[in-house]
Amino acid sequence: MTFLQPFILWGLPLILLPVIIHLLNRMRHRSVQWAAMMFLRAASRKSTRYARLRQWLVLLFRVLAVLLLVLALSRPLAGGWLGWMFAPAPDVILILLDRSASMELRGPGATLTKRELALNLIGDAAGSFAGTSRFVLIDSATQSPGEIEAISALSELASVAPTETAADLPSLVQTAVDWITRNRPGSTELWIASDLQASNWSPESDRWNALNAALEELPQRVRIRLLALPAEADDNRSLSLTRVRRLETARGSELELDMEIRRGIETSDRLPLTLTLNQGRSQIDLAAEGRLFRHRHVVPLETREGGWGRVELPADANDRDNTAWFAFGPPPILRTAIVSEDPLAGRYLALAAAPDPNDTNRVARPIPPDQLASVVWDEHALVLWQGTLPKDDVAARLEDYVSSGGIVLFFPGDETGSGSFLGNGWGDDSRAEDEDTLFSVQQWDQQDGPLERTAEGLSLPMERLEVTRRRAINGEHTLLATFQDDPPFLTRTATGDGQAYFCATVPHPDWSRLQDGPVLVPLVQRLLQAGGARLAEVDFVACGDWDPSATPDTWIAVDSETRRDPVTQAGVYRAGGRLVAVNRPAREDLPGTLEPAEIESLLDGISLRLFEETQQGGDALQSELWRAFLFVMGIFLMVEAFLVLPERGGRRPIPMTLAPDDTPGEPEKELAA
């Protein structure tokens, strides 16, 4: 309990006043000469236990009323967080601060963000422990413990500043456990301030079990105080870019921005987005609907050079989730390596990979079998392989290529072959018996992958693809398209950052009409674009997940003269000619918070005290209780008044004043008779 006027608490001994008055009253008794002692003795004998109990209750309620009056005048503050003041001071207090972007949310009408509110509450509470406890701060962004010399200056530390990172609470608690193990302090308390965002707490993680075990095994007593700030704002919106692609089309260079807008409530309205592209600003009016709204925006590029930009939402409850950054480089040369046993199929594949001879950005290069050992696969955006699967050293190098982000599309050959690639291999050969029983593709993934719909929403003409010969695909894979009788047409196997695709037929007249183009060209071009992203001179990284210190370069924000930390601050950073767009991690935008009971189950067996700060207003920091105290005091006084009231009803009325009875006896009539 905390009081705004704590000096009034010196008046607490006043609660003894009723007792003292009672005792003085008894001591100040006077002696009275009395005649009617026979009634007095009888009354004293009959004085019931209830009467005495009632006297004690009256005294008790008077004491309580004075106590509540003193407490009310001291202006007590509500809040279990501040109520910790009465706990014994620990040796060390580890402050675990969630600095994720979601902590920058402001409640309706509030002037402080959750992080600022948490810092204020912690600072106020910690003030009482200054001089008795050491304070160590571990923030979620850097996760590096640092001792705080002056707790009063907590909110001014650089390590508590807002970030665009996501928090990893299990990792944060693990850091604290490691620190305790390493430094072996005495009694320790963990003060965790978090908004309980589910994606930050990872309740499904097995790490919690290990953490609980580690906390229980610590020799010293460790208590956890959790300041939960789970309040959400319905009017908050968050913006993220799910994909940024530079397209070279017949219209010229274009930048395709796939954006995602999340909102707290189901609503539809128009959102004015601000697009900044290479210092130029424009506005995008979006008719957004629903909690989750996706939009693809295409911007024509007037230059073949690279650049950067950002998309911004109007200001709302959280300014840290309104901006998404992007960067793009000059169009890369998309090289396709074609390895084909069948020359005709090889030519078809080369045409699909580089359909326009005048387009110098797309180069298809047939690889003779004798050069396979010397090919530098990493300079290729895509590898098209028709025939027997690679073996030995070639297969190993090709797997490395895929792991590093490369993409390979395999087509079968006449021979089944005994090899496999990433666990997949070719199976039996099957042919259509006649023209009426040709194989056709009936089901394929139209939402995602290389066979997805076009930007205009048109489906690829898969059902018109005629296949006369096919080969089974064996192994573990993801089905992207299947024939009408279930065997796979196209599969995908991912490893590392790359993927290996297997197609059941060959662009060759003996196999199918795949070489006609409507299916093969989009398929190859899409894979080429995906593989080419690896070659672009820009990177998209999640804030907090990227460690720029691992690179030898010095990274400077492109949009600001002031120095910014790419570890914690989103933006576009440049090092030499290379651009990196740093954005909030996608998980930071995921809605959903944990309930207190879920937190307690996560920290099962640990001494946990949870205080939920639901109000977000600045005034809610200190919610005064004096009205409640005065109200309860009033109730006590009413009970006391009720107890001292004389009894009524039920019994024979007791005359408070016995009037003299002058009525004489009237025996005369009887006597005369």
Partner 1 sequence: MAEQPQWLDPGVLARLTRQFLHARLPMEGNVTGHHKSPHRGSSVEFAEYRKYVPGDDIRRLDWRVYGKTDRFYMREFEADTNLRAYMVLDCSGSMGYGSGATTKLEYARRLLATLAWLTVQQGDAVGISCFDYHTAIDIPPRRNPAHLRTILDSLGQVKPRGETALVGALHDLAERIRRRALVIIFSDCFCEVEPLLECFQHLRFRKHDLAVFHLLDRAELEFRFDRPVRFVDLETSSSLMAEPAIIRRQYLEQLQEHLDRLKTGCSQFHADYRRITIDQDYEKVLADFLIERARARVGSAGV
Which residues of the chain form contacts with partner 1 (CB under 8 A)? 25-26, 28-44, 46-47, 51-52, 55, 644, 646-647, 654-658, 660-662, 664-673
550 vs 645, beta carbon nearer partner 1: 645
Cβ atoms of 102 and 318 within 8 Å: the answer is yes
C-alpha pair distances (Å), 582 with each of 166, 169, 220, 390, 585: 13, 21, 41, 38, 9
Q: How far apart are CA 532 and CA 555, in angstroms?
A: 24
Q: What are phi and psi of 415, to 5 degrees?
A: -90, 140
In whole angstroms, how close is the CB of 62 to partner 1 at the nearest point? 14
Tokens of 228: 């939960």
Residue in 2, 104, 121, 86 with CA at minimum distance from that of residue 621: 121
In whole angstroms, how close is the CB of 670 to partner 1 at the nearest point? 6
42 vs 455, beta carbon nearer partner 1: 42
628 vs 644, beta carbon nearer partner 1: 644
In whole angstroms, how close is the CB of 52 to partner 1 at the nearest point? 7
458 vs 671, beta carbon nearer partner 1: 671
250 vs 671, beta carbon nearer partner 1: 671
438 vs 643, beta carbon nearer partner 1: 643
Q: How far apart are CA 572 and CA 563, in angstroms?
A: 12
C-alpha pair distances (Å), 382 with each of 209, 250, 261, 295, 348: 44, 22, 33, 28, 15
Q: Find how far residue 223's CA is from the centre of its chain.
A: 24
Q: How far apart are CA 126 and CA 120, in angstroms?
A: 10
58 vs 172, beta carbon nearer partner 1: 58
In whole angstroms, how close is the CB of 227 to partner 1 at the nearest point? 52
Q: How do 292-300 and 334-340 pair as beta strands?
A: unpaired
In whole angstroms, how close is the CB of 152 to partner 1 at the nearest point? 55
Residues 6+ apart with CB under 8 A from 273: 239, 259, 283, 284, 285, 286, 311, 312, 313
25 vs 374, beta carbon nearer partner 1: 25
Q: How far apart are CA 585 and CA 232, in angstroms?
A: 19
Q: How far apart are CA 666 and CA 419, in angstroms?
A: 137
C-alpha pair distances (Å), 643 with each of 16, 48, 54, 646, 652: 20, 15, 7, 8, 19
In whole angstroms, how close is the CB of 3 to partner 1 at the nearest point? 36
Cβ atoms of 430 and 416 within 8 Å: the answer is no
In whole angstroms, how close is the CB of 50 to partner 1 at the nearest point? 10
44 vs 549, beta carbon nearer partner 1: 44
In whole angstroms, how close is the CB of 20 to partner 1 at the nearest point? 15
In whole angstroms, how close is the CB of 11 to partner 1 at the nearest point? 27
